[in-house]
Each structure stands twice: as C-alpha cells, then as structure tokens.
Homo-oligomer: A and B are copies of this chain.
Amino acid sequence: MAKIASSKIQSLPQAVSELVHDGDVVALEGFTHLIPFAAGHEIIRQGRRDLTLVRMTPDLVYDRMIGAGCARKLVFSWGGNPGVGSLHRMRDALASGWPVPLEIEEHSHAGMANRYVAGASGLPFAVLRGYAGTELPEHTDTISTVTCPFTGEELAAVAALNPDVTVVHAQRADRAGNVQLWGILGVQKEAVLAARRAIVTVEEIVDELTPVPGAVVLPAWVLDAVAVAPRGAAPSYAHGYYDRDNAAYRAWDTVSRDREKFSAWLEKLQEDAS
C-alpha cells in the first residue's frame, strides 16, 4: 500500500522520534554531497542507542554518532575524513570501545552499492565482479559467491541491504511531500527504496518541483516523513544552495582526536537544541 500522503511533512524531531528506534538498522546516505547532518545530530540529541549504522562513506556524521554512543555496529566501505585524514571517534570506538564497543561489517563501494540495489529491487542478493583475491570475504559474512548457470563462472554475491530506516537530504520537496534532488546522486534513491521506512530532510518546501536536469524525484508515497532542515547537509554541501565547508572538515580533526574536546562539542550540540 502506498504510504498515505496527507501527513508527510513534519518536524525533524518528530520524524526521528517516530521513525528511528533503538536497535534499528539505520542508513544515512549521501556520497560526499547532501549528507544528512541535521538528521544525524537529531538522532544524537534524542539519545538513540544500539543502532547499526550503514553508510558507504562514514564521514563526520557517523564519527559524531559513534562518538555519542548511538551505534553498536558500522556497515561501510570507506571510513575517513575526505581530504583530511581519519575518523578518530570511529577509531577510538574500534580500538578502545569508547564510549561503547563497535562491530564492523566491511565492504567495497561496489559491494555496498549493489547491496542497496538488491535491497531496492526486492532481491535477497546481488551479483558482481568483486572481492576475488582480496581478504575482505574472510572477515565479512555478507560476501559469498554464486555460479553462473550459463557459463559456470564464479562471481561474487553480496547480501541485500534493507535498512529499517534510511535518511537522506535533498534540495526540496513540494507540499505533497514529493522530493527532488540533483547534483551528485550517490546511492540515495537505492537506499530509500531499500528501506522499510524513509525520512528525507530538505532545504525548502516549494509549490512546484520545476524540472531540473539530472534530478531524481522520489514520490511522496515511498516516503514516511519529509522535514524541512535548511542547511541540513552542512558542513557537506547542497548543490545549488551552499558549498562544502572545508574548514569545518579540517577543524573536526582537532575536535575528534580528543575525547574531552569531543565531549564538549557534544554538550554544545545538546545545548544548541534547547
């Protein structure tokens, strides 16, 4: 059944409160572009715990959520601070279990992308040319093999990803909750369609979604909540709205290296909300 359209547009706190639960498998997607920081911060504020965080490129947003103790597991393919260095909160959780221990499930980008494709397609797995000769399959049980019934060739298989909830950020939505996003597209469409529930934050609500070259439109009926969050992707960027705040990415390196500095940052995040 299509998700009923009437009540799609709501506040971000309400959407997170109703749709993100402790223990959920949660994907916040956005490939460098349109990273849903505002939603990640709201999940931190609401104190979610035991989440399995899924994301191709855990960026600052997951470093923060991990540091805040939201996650018990991370599913990913590249975890770094792009152009700067490491994710220190992620490293600290992995090495020292601070503030809580963190499991990982590690893939390649191609593997993760195809896992979302399988999830969006209602298939239990996807086939790809990948992983052969690498050591990842020894450590990741969602990687296997499958044999082509026509050629006998052996190929990699990866298990479908179907998050309990996917959160993405987009440029805009109309009043019915149809969402439009453009620029670098990443895996947002697949991550939304693979999920049981979907939340989209947007820069603005408009009367009409004027067509934009290269844009993807997600119909309201595949979404559960659309929340207005201006600059909701900062310090990443929203094509056509604002640029990436590279200084903030560099500054995070200092904050995240140190548990006390991070804790101060976290306290401030909580205060900013109240």
Contacts and interface: CB of A to CB of B under 8 A. Distances in A.
Number of copies of this protein chain within its complex: 2
A148 B122 CA distance: 13
Interface residues of A, number: 26
Given A211-B214, A215-B213, A148 B124 contact: yes
18 contacts: A123-B128, A123-B129, A123-B155, A124-B150, A124-B151, A125-B149, A144-B150, A145-B149, A146-B146, A146-B147, A149-B157, A150-B159, A211-B213, A211-B214, A212-B213, A213-B213, A213-B214, A213-B215
A127 interface: yes
Contact of A123 (B124, B127, B159): B127
A153 interface: yes
B129 A122 contact: yes
A127 B109 CA distance: 20
Contacts of A123: 127-129, 155
A150 to B, nearest CB: 5
A148 B125 contact: yes
A152 to B, nearest CB: 9
A233 B50 CA distance: 57
Contacts of A124: 148, 150-151, 153, 155
A81 interface: no
A32 interface: no
A111 B144 CA distance: 24
A86 interface: no
Interface string A190-222: 000000000000000000000111110000000
Nearest to A122: B129
A215 to B, nearest CB: 7
B142 A150 contact: yes
Given A123-B128, A213-B211, A213-B212, A149 B153 contact: no
B149 A144 contact: yes
Given A211-B213, A213-B211, A125 B150 contact: yes
Closest 7 CB pairs of A and B: A211-B213, A144-B149, A124-B148, A124-B151, A150-B159, A125-B148, A149-B157
Contacts of A128: 123
Q: Among A148, A157, A214, which residue has the most Cβ atoms of chain B within 10 A?
A: A148
Nearest to A145: B149
B146 A149 contact: yes
Nearest to A141: B150
